[in-house]
Structure 1
Amino acid sequence: MRGIERLRSIERSTEPLAKALPALPKQETMLIRLVRVAAYGLGDYFTSVFNELGLTEHSYHALCVLVSSDKGRASPSELSELVGTSRPNMSRVIVELEKEGYASREAGALDGRRSVITITKRGRDVVKKLTPSVAGPAANAFADLDEEEQAVLDRLLRKAIVSFDEAKFR
């Protein structure tokens, strides 16, 4: 299903959903659905790019987080949150990165039950080598939005991310 078809499906189902489940706040439910469908579309957009590179999108982003972090290290939970995937999925990603020699796992210095993931030289090399192949599709992902629209989307997404945390305490 293409993005426009997913969008039309959401639009067609909004009123029936509101009637069937009147306790759900209509506007907020629409926003949640739009964000989820946009995230799905973004993942779908990049699938072929990463398939050609022999990595998953989450593997690539985990390597990006590691290569840009202090000392090239992060905990599995940090990687999970910064990449935007579940902890069980990040565990699978880390196993794959280890298997490929892109990252290594060590016991934490303060708590041996916790692990620290470190990017290897091979991991640094591969992420730097593959990044030019990702740069074009990344630049094109939001090409239909002008600079001002991209800035507004950036600001609103940042505000939403903080809002989700604050909503937990209301």
Structure 2
Amino acid sequence: MTPSVLKVKLGANKIDAVLINKNTASSVTNVEWNCLSLKQSLRRSAISFAWCCLFLTSGCAVTPETLCPNGQKPAINDLLYLGTATPKGIVNPEDWLQFLKISVTPRFPNGFSFWPAQGQWQSNTGIIVYEASYILNLIHPNDGKNETAVNAIINDYRQHFEQEAVLRVQSPVCTSLNKL
């Protein structure tokens, strides 16, 4: 059997294919196909494949509702990282507690947690800043009312303590509160 090579050249509207016999280096055949129908066929196949993938995976979405075990409810866990360095000094513990009383407690009267932390971040000027901070932990239903409340707390803190930024980390969680 004589070894042969098929050389294919793709053009804008055609495909040239040449079958070459390796022993004689002669062209055995030169075939030209019209690509338009091939391109249309490939395009239709790709679109059909994309729609099938979308349809088949649409029922596979995982939401917190599907992940929460019996007795637990889906919620959002917001962690706010609130720096204490201000142009006038630092946010002292009395100022912090006053802020909680005025801005956070009315919006989350059912409760929240906070703790002091140390951290670093890069300012708008590119300088690495080390500072004490507070982390405020808010767990709440995923709704517009609570989203507005969290954004209001962030804006209040930034304005009141002249902060360049507040970091917000938001995660879906499952919650349960076991009372006596």
Q: Structure 2-normalised TM-score?
A: 0.21
More strand by share: 2
Looking at secondary structure, tell me which structure has more helix per residue: 1
- Larger relative contact order (Cα-Cα within 8 Å, sequence gap ≥ 6): 2
Q: TM-score, normalised by structure 1?
A: 0.22
